[in-house]
Structure 1
């Protein structure tokens, strides 16, 4: 990977770009809180939030307040965290592996989380068990990938990718077996809907328990983003500059795995975000990870919140997010590949 010259005017003024993207996120978030089966005007939203800390006269029904705080705010926060987390994980992995086609799921985390969730749906059936098993399954899959890659004394990055393919295939096969033996009436629809991705079950408890894991992972990746730049130059060059490549690689993998496993435990398997959003970030800010990673956080958060809003308002029946992210992400990715044929 090389840091090619970026022709975008934003690359020369990253502060301006981050400010614009922050405003975009605020606008998308406000729209998400407003729209739904019951429309809530923006002034009412402002008054409800203000009433938490200020003596505001209540002119709204308790139902609106309950919808806002118990349904839409948790779902909005889940969209922001999952979108930001998957996006920065994808950007970090693409820099680490020096490959623009890498996504956060390359090491098998989504396959492991999917198997854990399918087992929990089949044998337990409650949302807490699904999230715990999903998170644990994702971590187990990446641990197996990392352990398998160390058996062979060859290129570490290459063996990680190949081991991830092996482990991911095994876990996907096990998930298919679970789907085959599941009750087609009681269990199968829940397994399929969860595997397609949805923020429908996001709750305040999720934000308290799982949210800090994603925030911690994002924070660490942002703190070490300049070291990811050095790794992107190649391991030999990075070592020559005094960088402990093994330690940085392990840190990036650990953070991205924690983020991805936590994200999947909240919203199921949501594809394309960790693959497409980093490319959009490079188009806006260039390949320098010092700017790219913060940009992908904001773009990814805005993107998933917007897609989730469409998913729950476009039809009477909620559309799984994974379907929309694929329908939107695939053509965008094809366009970006065509636009960046000379390099990334």
Structure 2
């Protein structure tokens, strides 16, 4: 059996190897490792062959593939981390970042900005994603407390309302805007750019840093409120903090690339299967496995077929059978 140290080293090695592979493969042009390292040397100033800096290969590597790789990894890491956090906070293995209505709220906000360009698409998606969580909390709040079951049910209701509103916007859209909205709701990575990377980078990294710093407290929440209070921790405040962070990184990811289904549900289970239920370890695993897995799916979506399949469709096609297989094999066990 592979030791914990070797498993941990794979969390670093696997993403680095896949990033290199993702740079050299693509539907437009495949390159070899020698060409890749030559261009890296040019960019870092180790080579003086400035003439090679020009041309299509330079554009493909550093203006098309690299921002897409970085954005894909950030989105995968954020969705997986948010899923792991919410599952620990709610002590429920079927909760994911979209349970609270974040995805449907962000999708409605993005569609609204596409149809009525008053503000940027990513800003509108973020605002309505946060608003959906706020409405979910207010609906479920009763008697000076909020139960987990009522919040999950409220999230499903809020998600349904925003989905219906999104359908109304699609009905009102002209054919060109309708196509853009539909593509965005299926997950859209082919429009990745450095601007989108810069927009999503700070909120996602800030949220992941907070999760990493306070990851040990997730173990307390997973044990229950009474156990958390017994060691001097206020579970109510802690839950609000983690929910706010999960909302921030999920809304930032959805605002950048659109809706990616099932990802935040499946990856935390995979992390627990490999590393166990200790959140001090699985937080790191969710970041690495989430980014690596989504990057692997994106590589398939842009290289296997002559046309590119939206990443959200691909995650559903791949993720659903994998999850069903693991569930049938009893590999997923929240209590282990």
Fold shared by both chains (TM-score > 0.5): yes
Structure 1 residues 1-344: aligned runs within 5 Å: 9-10=1-2, 13=4, 15-36=5-26, 37-56=28-47, 57-58=49-50, 59=52, 61-124=54-117, 129-183=120-174, 185-340=175-330, 343-344=333-334
Q: Residue 309 of structure 2: SS of its match in structure 1?
A: coil
Aligned-partner Cα distance in 1 for 2:67–2:244: 26
**Alignment deviations for residues 146-168 of structure 1 (CA, whole Å, 9 cap, x no partner):** 22222454553223212211211
Q: What is the alpha-carbon distance in structure 1 between the residues aligned to residue 37 and residue 330 of structure 2? A: 43
Report deviation, 1:115. Answer: 0.2
SS at 1:20 equivalent: helix
Cα deviation for residue 206 of structure 1 reads 1.7
Partner Cα distance (1:198, 1:49) in 2? 28
Which has the higher mean CA deviation after the structures are superposed, 105-114 or 156-165? 156-165
- CA distance in structure 2 between the aligned counterparts of 1:52 and 1:311, rounded to whole angstroms: 28
Distance between the aligned counterparts of 1:124 and 1:38, measured in 2?
Answer: 35
For the residue of structure 1 that corresponds to 2:184, the secondary structure is helix
Q: Could you say which structure has the greater relative contact order, defined with CA pairs below 8 angstroms and 6 or more residues apart?
A: 1
- Contact 2:269–2:332 (8 Å) recurs in 1: no
Q: Which residue of 2 aligns with 1:5?
A: none
Deviation, structure 1 residue 69: 1.4
| Aligned-partner Cα distance in 2 for 1:152–1:76 | 47
Unpaired segments of 5 or more residues in structure 2? none
Counterpart CA distance in 2 for 1:17 and 1:228 is 21
CA distance in 2, matches of 1:45, 1:230: 46
Q: Shift of residue 329 of structure 1? A: 0.5
Aligned partners of 2:244 and 2:231: how far apart in 1? Answer: 23
Distance 2:181 2:250 in 1: 19
Q: In structure 2, what is the Cα distance between the partners aligned to 1:297 and 1:330?
A: 21
Counterpart Cα distance in 2 of 1:102 and 1:218: 19
CA apart distance, 1:177 = 0.7
- Cα deviation, 1:227-275, whole Å, max 9, x if unaligned, reads 0100100111111121110111011101100010000011100011101
Contiguous gaps of at least 5 residues in structure 1: 1-8
**Distance (Å, rounded) in 2 between the aligned partners of 1:140 and 1:24:** 37
Q: 2: CA distance between counterparts of 1:68 and 1:157?
A: 46
CA RMSD of aligned residues (A): 1.7
Q: Decide whether the 8 Å contact of 1:44 with 1:60 is kept in 2.
A: no
TM-score by length of structure 2 reads: 0.94
Whole-Å separation in 2 of the counterparts to 1:157 and 1:295: 26
Equivalent pair of 2:273/2:332 in contact (CA under 8 Å): no
Contact 1:32 1:76 in 2 (8 A): yes
8 Å contact 1:152–1:159 — kept in the other structure?
Answer: no
* Cα distance in structure 2, aligned partners of 1:322 and 1:341: 25
Deviation, structure 1 residue 336: 1.8
Q: How far apart, CA to CA, are the structure 1 residues paired with 2:122 and 2:171?
A: 22
Deviations 1:170-204 (A, max 9, x none): 11110011111211x21111111100002112211
